[in-house]
Structure 1
Amino acid sequence: MNFSDNLLLIDVLLMYTGSINRKQLMELTGMSIATATRTFKTYRERYPDNINYEVGNKRYEKSSTFNPGFDFNVESALALIAYGRKIEPSRYSNTIGLDQKHNCGHQLSKEISSILTRAIYSSSRLLIHYLSSNSDNEIREIVPTAIFESRNRWYVRVCVLEDNSYKNFKINRVNKVITSKSIGNISIPEDVKWKAPVILTLGPHPKHGFSKGLKRDLGLDKKPLFNLQTTDALAGFLLSEWAVDCSEDSSLDPYYFQYQLLNLYDLKDVSSMVISPGYAIKRKVDIQLETIDEEN
């Protein structure tokens, strides 16, 4: 990373986490103490209204007058926060691939997405106005706990304070975010499903005519099964991404859903299975429209 990229990193972390210290910058970039000190000094000189130094915590914090000093991609910022992917544009120009990654319509808001992520770091409660499947302006009081990406859509995992349930909201459908007027500390239940390990056992679709290639895709040249490890909350998302047939009778199109879920009956209590391909077919599953909208 060059010096300008380091300044960009400070800008993004201030906006999306609310604070950053010298040690964090050194760990993220591999720079020396002297370089980190110089980088913060330069950022403060160029963007004095963006940053404050908190002596007690020995860290730099986002100021109330913060205005991004750099133009950056929201998805890249979220990928940094969620998965640690560095915001470092490639300077290699002799490429041989076609970039076909497209954003689907509505662009993510820097302001809304950063308020949500800062609330995760500060364990803050928020009021959101959400565009759901049955309301144009559904108001929820929430505590955001995590973010993740699935099928080019970014989601925020939240505890809904009305009933202390955990849900996944599409960030692009959050119309407005305001700080909750509720005061005092709040205790939310542990998100057991977010952490509960789940194994997905996959194999070639039995109705696909050419299983040898599918086995090669899954690395099954010398073993019969392929196991994916995920969690209760994310299993359905992962199965959708992999286009896995989760129906009881392998009834989905094998040339689109090329893999089959082999341990289907072991996953009957996994909450996110309701959004996996074919899971609800011929099943008496109580799937609320709201759940489909928020998670699918």
Structure 2
Amino acid sequence: MDNGLRWHVRAFDRMSQEFRDFVITRIRHPVLIRGQSVAPHETSDNDIQWTRIVELELVPHPDQDRPEITEMDYDMRDGVLRINLRAATAGYTLRKWSVDCSPDHSLRGPEYRLWLKDHLALYGVKNAVLAPGYQLNK
């Protein structure tokens, strides 16, 4: 996946025993391990963050003077842009799009044209911490 600045690859990490995102340019000396089988829990089918689809509703940021412009730019229907993302990519996408994910649309600035209507939609998304304004305990 491309987060806008660098490419990541998602894989099972045997050291931490979980699926993780790895920045490709940081992989210095990859080693092909021959003769070792992949355990069932290491297959992509078992990556819950990858297989889980989250449905998000994005709306024009409430601080905008002209929300209808954002509605036109994003081809919104009834003032809402509904998108489905893999949980593993949600935080990256919301950051790249500068979506205000605070529960009270408290982020300020012209870059925040969109607001996540229901921040609870990110519940259980591990990389939600990357989303602008996302607060874990709210």
Identify the TM-score tier after normalising by the shorter chain. 0.7 to 0.9
Amino acid at match of 2:128: M
Distance 1:150 1:188 in 2: 29
Distance 1:254 1:207 in 2: 9
Contact 1:207 1:254 in 2 (8 A): no
- The alpha-carbon deviation at position 211 of structure 1 amounts to 1.1
Q: Deviations over 1:27-74 (max 9, x none)?
A: xxxxxxxxxxxxxxxxxxxxxxxxxxxxxxxxxxxxxxxxxxxxxxxx
**Alignment-derived partner of residue 218 in structure 1:** 74
SS of the residue corresponding to residue 30 of structure 2 reads strand
Amino acid at match of 1:174: I
Correspondence 1:130-169 to 2 at 5 A = 148-169=1-22
Distance 2:109 2:75 in 1: 19
Q: Deviations over 1:231-287 (max 9, x none)?
A: 11111111111110001221112411110001211322222211111113xx449xx
Scaled by the length of structure 2, the TM-score of the pair is 0.86
Task: Say which structure is richer in helix.
Answer: 1
**Alignment-derived partner of residue 184 in structure 1:** 36
**Alignment-derived partner of residue 261 in structure 1:** 116
SS of the residue corresponding to residue 212 of structure 1 reads helix
Structure with larger RCO (C-alpha < 8 A, sep 6+): 2
- Pairwise CA RMSD: 1.9
Task: Choose the corresponding residue for 1:202, options 35, 53, 58.
Answer: 58
Contact 1:201 1:226 in 2 (8 A): yes
Bigger Rg over Cα: 1
Structure 1: stretches of 5+ with no match in the other structure? 1-147, 286-296
Scaled by the length of structure 1, the TM-score of the pair is 0.42
**Alignment-derived partner of residue 82 in structure 1:** none
SS of the residue corresponding to residue 82 of structure 2 reads strand
Sequence identity percentage: 26
- The alpha-carbon deviation at position 162 of structure 1 amounts to 2.3
Amino acid at match of 1:184: Q
SS of the residue corresponding to residue 169 of structure 1 reads strand
Contact 1:164 1:188 in 2 (8 A): no
Structure 2: stretches of 5+ with no match in the other structure? none
Aligned residues: 134
